[in-house]
Amino acid sequence: MSENTNTPYDYINMPVIPTRGLVLFPGSVIHFDMSRSISVAALNKAMDNEQTVFIVSQKDIRTEEPDRDALFNVGTVAKIKQVLRLPGEGVRVLVEGMYRAFLVDVMAFQPYINALVKQVEDKERKQTEAARMALIRHAKSLFDGYAEAQGHVPADIAMTVLATEHIGGLADYIASNIHLPAPDRQAVLEQRDIIKRLELVSGLVLRETSILRFDQEIHEKVKGRMDKNQRDYYLREQQKVLSEELDEGLDDELEELSYLAYKCGAPDEVYERIMKEIEKLSKMPQGSHEGTVVRNYIDALIEMPWKKRTRDKINLPAAAALLDKEHYGMQKVKERILEMLAVRTLVPDLTGQIICLCGPPGVGKTSIAKSVAKCMGRKYVRMSLGGVRDEADIRGHRKTYIGAMPGRIISAMKQAGSMNPLILLDEADKLGNDFRGDPASALLEALDSEQNNAFRDHYMELPIDLSGVFFLTTANTLDTIPPALLDRMEVIELSSYTREDKFNIAKNHLVRKQIKKHGMNSKKLKIQDSALYGVIDFYTREAGVRKLERRIAAICRKAARALVDGVGGIELKNGRINVTEDNLEAFLGVKKYRPELIAAKNMVGVVNGLAWTQVGGEMMQLETAALPGTGKITLTGSLGDVMKESAQTAVSFVRSVADSYQISPDFHKDKDIHIHATESAVPKDGPSAGVTMATALLSALSGRAVRRDVAMTGEITLLGRVLPIGGLREKTMAAYRAGIKTVILPEENAPDLEEIDPKVRQALDFLPVSNAVEVFAAALEPLKPAPGVRVREQEMPLAGLASDKAEHAHTIEGNAHGTEI
C-alpha cells in the first residue's frame, strides 16, 4: 500500500509530528516551531510526498522521545503550507488541518515516527431543524459573550463564527480560537458526535467567559486601589512641598511608622499607644537620646505579630507515627502527649496546660518538645533558662534604662512570628536568683492560665495575651523548682534509658545518622550488634545517649581515616570495615569502665545493694566489718546525711533482734562497726540502702555469708519495716546487667514491677518483703552452728515467714519470673 494513495477511508501510512501542548483542529491554520530530530525528519518526509502529515498531541509535554503510549489516539491530518528554517536546527512550519484521524498503529520510531492512520467520520444524532438551529444560536451567543469579556477578539474570527452554520465546523472553529487548556482541546478533538461536540464547546466557552469576567472584576478592584494610592501619594507630595515652603517639614519616617502601625493589626489599646508615641516623637528634636528610646519602643510594639496565628493541625494517627519514628520507647510519655492532643482536638481553645518534662540529661526532652510542635503544626521556639538570674530577662527592662529591651517571652513570640507558638522553657530547674530579683517568680504570671491573658512586660507596658501560647518546660530534677512554679505544671517523668533502650536507639537511629554524617554508608562501614553492646557497657555511663552518639562518631572518624589513607591499624575486607566486639578497642582505645559483675563466692559482710543515679541504675556493694573495740561506728564512702541516718537505724534494729541470731547483745559496747560503700569518690545519699546496711551488719556480726546472687533495696525503720523506694526500673536493670538472680524489694513497690523491662522481668526473681527479717532469711546462708551448740528455736519462725512471703511473691508475679523462692 503506497503512501497517501488510498481513499480517505482506508489506512494511510504517513509521517507523524508529535506536539507538546498543541492541538490542531480541522479547518484551522496554525504555525509552530520544532527542533526535535524526529519531528524535522517527519517534516522532510512529508515535503517529499504530497506535503501531508499527521499531527497528534503528547500526553506528557516533558517526554522527549515519545512511544505509542505517550501519544493520544486521535489527531489531525494536516497540509503543510510553509516551512521556514530558523537559525540552528529549528524549523517554523505553517499547517492547515484537513480532517480528524485515528492513530491505528506505529510502524517505526526512527528516523521519524511513521504510522498507520484512518480518517474519523463525524456522527450526528437525528434532531429537528429547530433544535439544531437553537443549539447553533446558543453557541454563537456564548461566543459573543466570550468575545465581549476577552475584549480583543479579531473581527474576522467573530464574522466567521457568525457565518458558520455547520455544527461540527462551528465547534472546531470556536475551540481553536478561544483560550483552552490542552486536555480540553483534545477532548473536543476526540468527540465524534457533532451535537455533543458543540454542547461540550458551549460549556467550555461559558466557563472561560466566567473566568474572564471574574478576572476583570479583580483587575478593576486592584486598579481602583492603585488609583487611590497614586492619588494619595500625589496629595502627600503636594502637602510635602507646601510644608517645605512654610518650613513645616513632614517627616517621612513618621509617615512610615504611622502606616506600619495601621498595618500591624494591633489591638485598639496598643494602636492608640503607638500613635501617641509617634506624636511624642514628632515633637522631639532629631537625634535626641529620648527620641531614640521612643523610636525603639515604637518599633518593639509594631514588630509584635499581633494578628498572626497558626491553626492547630492535629492528626492523632500521624502524631503517633511521628512520635514512634523520632523516639524509641517512652510509651507513657507518648500516651500522655497523644491524650493532650486528643483533648485539644475536641477543645481547640483549651488553656492552662503547662507540661514539665522531667528526666536525666540526654533522654530526649528537648526533641520531644520539637515533635509536639510538629504534631500540632505550631511554630517552635526554645528559650533556655539555665543560669538566668535577672528577673528582667523574663519580664523585660523598663524603658528608662539605657539598653532596655523586652523580656525573653516577648522576644520568643517575635522570633516565632505568631501569637500562639509552642515555647519550650528549657532547663527550668537551673534558674538562679540574686539581688536583681527572682526569675522563677517572674514566670508565675506567664504560666498561670488565669492571668496570662493580660501579661505585662516591663518594657512593653501593655497587656499581651499569652493564653494562646503552649508552654512546655524541661528539668533534670524537681527539687530546685520553687513549689509555686511547680504547682502550675503537670509533670511527666522521663526515666533513664535501659541497656536495651540504648541499643535499639543506637541501632535504629544513631548509627545511620553518624555514618551518613561522616560521608559513608552501610557498604563501607558495618557496626555489629555486639560492638554496640560493648560501647554501651564499657565506654559510656549515662542516662541518655549523648555520649553513646559521640562514641559512635569516634568509630566513624576512625573508619573514615582508614578508608582514605589506610592509617590506624584498621583491617579492611573488600573495601569494607566491620566493627565487632573483638576489634572495638582499635577504634575507641582501652575500656573506660569495668563491667558490673557479682562476686565469685558468698562472703560475710558483703551485700549487693541497688542504687539510682542520674545516669541510670548501679549495683553498689556495701561492706561491713565488726572489729574488737569500744562500740564506735565508722561510715565511709562519701555518704550523705540521709544515708548516715539509715546506717544508725540499721544498727539499732540489729541490736533489737541480736538475741534471735545468736549475736551478743553487748556488741555495741565491745565491737567497732565499720560500714563502707564502694566507689568512694562518688557521693551517695538516700534512704534506700537501709535493708542493705542491716543485712551486711547482721552478716558481719553472725558470721553468716550473704548470697552473692541476691541484690536488695528498701528503706528500713527502727522496727524493721521495709518502706518503698523509687527508681525501681533502673535498679532492676542494673541487677540484670550484673548477673543477679534474685532482687529483694519493698512489698509496696510490687505494683511497680509492671513498668520494668519485659526482658528483665523474665530473667530475675522478685521477692517483695515488708520486714527486714524476711530479707535476712532470703539473703543469708543458713546458720552453721559450732559442734555441740544448738540453734536457737526463735530463728525458725522467721525463716518460715520469709518462705511464705517468697511464695506469695511468686504468686503475684506469675510463672514468667522463674521458680519459687
Residue 787 scores a pLDDT above 60: no
How far is Cα 473 from Cα 101, in angstroms, rounded to an integer? 71
> CA-to-CA distance for 568 and 588, rounded, in angstroms?
12
Q: What is the CATH number of domain 129-213?
A: 1.20.58.1480
Residues of the chain with CATH 1.10.8.60: 499-588
Q: Cβ distance 503 to 552 under 8 Å?
A: no
- Could you tell me the pLDDT band of residue 69, with boundaries at 50, 70 and 90? confident
Place of cell 499581651: 464
pLDDT of residue 202: 85
Residue 422: strand pairing partners: 380, 470
Residue 61 in grid coordinates: 509535554
| Amino acid at the residue 647 | A
Give the mean pLDDT of 385-410: 84
Q: How do residues 406-434 score in pLDDT, each as one tens digit?
A: 888 889 999 988 988 999 998 888 887 76
Look over the chain and give the mean of its residue pLDDT values, rounded to a whole number: 83
Residues belonging to the active site: 688, 731
SS3 for 66-86 is: CCHHHECCEEEEEEEEEEEEC
Taken in order 489, 495, 501, 505, the sign of the CA dihedral is positive
Say what the pLDDT of residue 804 is.
Answer: 39
Position 799 pLDDT exceeds 80: no
Render pLDDT for 180-208 as a digit per residue (tens, 0 to 9): 888 888 888 888 888 888 888 888 888 88
Considering only CA atoms, which of 472, 498, 164 is closest in space to residue 328?
A: 498
Read off the pLDDT of each residue in 598-623 and give the average, rounded to a whole number. 85
Percentage of the residues of the chain whose pLDDT score is greater than 70: 90
Bin 633: left if φ > 0, else alpha if -120 < ψ < 50, else beta: beta
Task: Give the pLDDT confidence score for residue 130 in this predicted structure.
Answer: 84
CA–CA separation, 123 and 142 (whole Å): 23
Say how far apart CA 327 and CA 401 lie, in whole Å: 46
Quick check: helix, strand or coil at residue 603? Answer: strand
pLDDT of residue 820: 24
pLDDT at 240 over 80: no
Residues of the chain with CATH 3.40.50.300: 316-493
Tell me, what's the pLDDT at 3? 46
For cell 484521524, what's the residue? 101
Domain 12-119 classified CATH 3.40.50.920? no
Average pLDDT of 320-327?
A: 88
- Residues of the chain within CATH 3.30.230.10 domain(s) are 603-817
Using CA atoms, how far residue 435 sits from 432, 482, 689, in Å, is 11, 17, 40
Q: At what angle do helices 546-565 and 529-538 cross, to 10 degrees?
A: 120
437 pLDDT above the threshold of 80:
no
Peptide bond into 111 cis (omega under 30): yes
Of the candidate ranges 37-46, 385-394, 521-530, 800-809, the one whose mean pLDDT is the lowest:
800-809
pLDDT at 436: 67
- pLDDT greater at residue 280 or residue 795: 280
Per-residue pLDDT at 435: 64
CA distance 195 to 171: 9
The H or E element spanning position 530 is helix 529-538
Q: What's the rounded mean pLDDT across residues 689-703? A: 93
Asked if 525 contacts 479 with a C-beta cutoff of 8 angstroms, the reply is no
Residue 260 predicted with pLDDT over 50: yes
> What DSSP string runs through 163-194?
H---HHHHHHHHHHTS---HHHHHHHHH--BH
**Lowest-confidence segment of 441-445, 471-475, 586-590 by average pLDDT:** 441-445
Q: What is the pLDDT of residue 586?
A: 87
Alpha-carbon gap, residue 821 to 810, rounded angstroms: 7
pLDDT at 795: 40
* pLDDT tens readout for residues 18-41: 988 888 889 888 888 888 888 888
Over 80: is that where the pLDDT of 801 sits?
Answer: no
pLDDT at 599: 81
The pLDDT, as a whole number, for residue 251 is 61
Lowest mean pLDDT among 89-98, 160-169, 304-313, 801-810: 801-810
The better pLDDT of the pair 294, 248 is held by: 294
**In 10 A of CB 640, how many CB atoms?**
12
Residue with cell 484537513: 98
Are 475 and 713 a contacting pair, CB within 8 Å? no
Cα–Cα distance, 716 to 337 (Å, whole number)? 37
Q: Of 558, 457, 548, which Cα lies nearest the Cα of 511?
A: 548
- Indicate whether 225 pLDDT > 70: yes
Q: What is the pLDDT of residue 244?
A: 56
Percent of the chain with pLDDT over 90: 18
Q: How far apart are CA 22 and CA 409, in angstroms?
A: 58
- pLDDT attached to residue 123: 83
The CATH 1.20.58.1480 domain(s) of the chain lie at: 129-213
Coil, helix or strand at residue 44: helix
Model pLDDT, residue 809: 37
- In angstroms, the Cα distances linking 696 to 45, 609, 623 are 104, 10, 7
CB neighbours of 277 closer than 8 A, spacing ≥ 6? 294, 297, 298, 301
pLDDT value of position 163? 79
Q: Which three cell numbers stand for residue 686?
A: 538516700
Reported confidence tier of residue 241, pLDDT bands at 50, 70, 90: low
CA separation for the pair 135, 124 (Å, rounded) = 13
Q: In the predicted model, is pLDDT for residue 805 greater than 50?
A: no
State which H helix or E strand residue 472 sits in: strand 470-475
Please give the Cα distance from 280 to 288 (Å, whole number). Answer: 12
Q: Is 1 a residue whose pLDDT tops 50? A: no
d(CA 37, CA 691): 91
Q: Please state, as a whole number, how many other Cβ atoms lie within 10 Å of the Cβ of residue 795.
A: 18
CATH code of the domain made up of 603-817: 3.30.230.10
Can you tell me the mean pLDDT for 472-489? 86
Considering only CA atoms, give the Rg of the chain.
43
Spatial distance between the Cα atoms of 9 and 120, rounded to a whole number of angstroms: 8
596 sits in the region (left: phi over 0; alpha: psi -120 to 50; else beta) called beta
* Distance in angstroms (rounded) separating the CA atoms of residues 442 and 396: 10
Is the per-residue pLDDT at 818 higher than 60?
no
Query: What CATH number matches the domain at 499-588, 1.10.10.10, 1.10.3720.10, 3.40.462.20, 1.10.8.60?
Result: 1.10.8.60
The sheet that has 422-426: what strands, in order across it? 380-384, 422-426, 470-475, 355-358, 490-493
pLDDT digits (tens, 9 = 90+) for 697-748: 999 999 999 999 999 999 999 999 999 998 888 888 888 888 899 999 999 9
Residues 510-538 have pLDDT tens digits of 999 999 999 888 888 999 999 999 998 88
- Let me know: does 391 contact 436? Beta carbons within 8 Å: yes
207 half-sphere exposure, CB direction, 13 A CA radius: 11
Amino acid at 610: L
Q: How far is CA 699 from CA 47, 660, 777, in A?
A: 112, 13, 11
* CATH architecture assigned to 316-493: 3-Layer(aba) Sandwich (3.40)
DSSP annotation of 709 reads T
